[in-house]
Each structure stands twice: as structure tokens, then as C-alpha cells.
Amino acid sequence: MAVFYLASADFDVDHRDVAAQKVLLRERMAGLGWLTPDILAHLDDTPDFYLDQVAQVVMDRWSSGRVGLLGDAAFSSSPMSGQGTGLALVGAYLLAGELAAAGWDPDTGFTRYEARMRSFVEANQEIGRLNARSRDVPGPDPEPAPEPRPDFAGEWFTELVGRAINGVELPDYAGVPDSATPTGSPITSSARP
């Protein structure tokens, strides 16, 4: 198995055109040395070639009316952040809890959900962007990088990682009415013998 990362502001290859994807990969990886020529020599024999663009979803808001977005649909941080599943699980917990705490009023619930999640999401998205920039390896004819490689030695990075890991409070929603209980009614349960 081989995994290649390459920066490409003009990634314009149809996801169904595998032949064009292989041409792009060969062009971008030409001249890199090491085992690259040997790996590329097996490109046409591989039964499970896959090439895709790594992207993020960055939106001004995650809801409109009674429709709210969650997980990658709202705030994909990209595989480069390593936080997609974590963000989705935390987001689902907060979205359900805030909607319930708001008596299932979408405007209030969505606003509270986003207020709790926004900084956490933005920190994880920035981690993804930093990771992508740190992996950018110039090809044989390097173009000037749009941004310098990040310097991870500063306090800014420690603060960013702190927000990305611990940047959201998970309230205890115990006692919040569920969707089957009218707002204001206590939730009760009984055990049957």
C-alpha cells in the first residue's frame, strides 16, 4: 500500500476517470526519487486504486429554519485533522441535548448547539489545514508555496491543540424532557417485575 499527498489548487479530474487520475499522480510524483518510480510502476496493476481530494466544509451557519446539519455535512474537518468521528459524536450529543433543553424549539436549540460547538470545530479544522500544509512536499519544479509551513513551537499551537481536544463543554442533559414528553413534564420511568 502506498499513500501520497499532494497540494493542488487546481484539482480538476473527474472522480470517475481513473485513467486521468493516474496520469495526474504520475505527473505530480515524477522526479521525487526514493521508491516513487517503483511504486508508480505498479499503478496500472493495482485492483484498488483510489484518488480523492481532501477538503473541508466551512459554513457560516449550520441550520436554517427546522433543518440542522451535523458532522461532515456541517463542519467536515477533513481526514487531515483526525477528528471527524469525534466532532460528529460530540455534535450529535450537543445537538440533541440543546434541542431538548430548548423544548424542541429549533431556532433556540440550533443557536445554542452552534454556540457550544463553533470554537471546537474551528480549532479542529485549523489542525487539519496545518497538517495538510506541513505535509506539502514540493515536486521537481516547485511553485512558491501560498503560505509558509507552520512553526509548531509557539504558544499559539499549544492553545490551538487545547481547544481542539478540550474545547467544548459537555453538559449533563439529565432531566431534560425527551421528544415524547410535553415540555415542562417530568420524565418518569417505572420498572416492571
Do 150 and 134 contact (CB within 8 A), yes or no? yes
* Mean pLDDT to the nearest integer, 33-45: 89
101's grid cell: 433543553
Convert the pLDDT of each residue in 137-156 to its tens digit: 555 555 555 566 666 777 88
Residues 43, 49, 53, 54, CA torsion sign: negative
Residue 134 CA to residue 180 CA, distance in Å, equals 49
Beta bridge partners of 183: none
Strand positions, DSSP E, the chain:
63-64, 67-68
Residue 47 CA to residue 45 CA, distance in Å, equals 6
The pLDDT mean for the chain works out to: 82
pLDDT of 186 > 60? The answer is no
CA distances (Å), 2 to each of 54, 88, 145, in order?
A: 16, 28, 25
Displacement of CA 127 from its chain's centroid (Å): 10
Q: What is the pTM of this model?
A: 0.71
Residue count of the chain: 193
Per-residue confidence (pLDDT) for residue 141, from 0 to 100: 56
184's grid cell: 415542562
* Mean pLDDT to the nearest integer, 155-177: 85
Residue 58 CA to residue 160 CA, distance in Å, equals 18
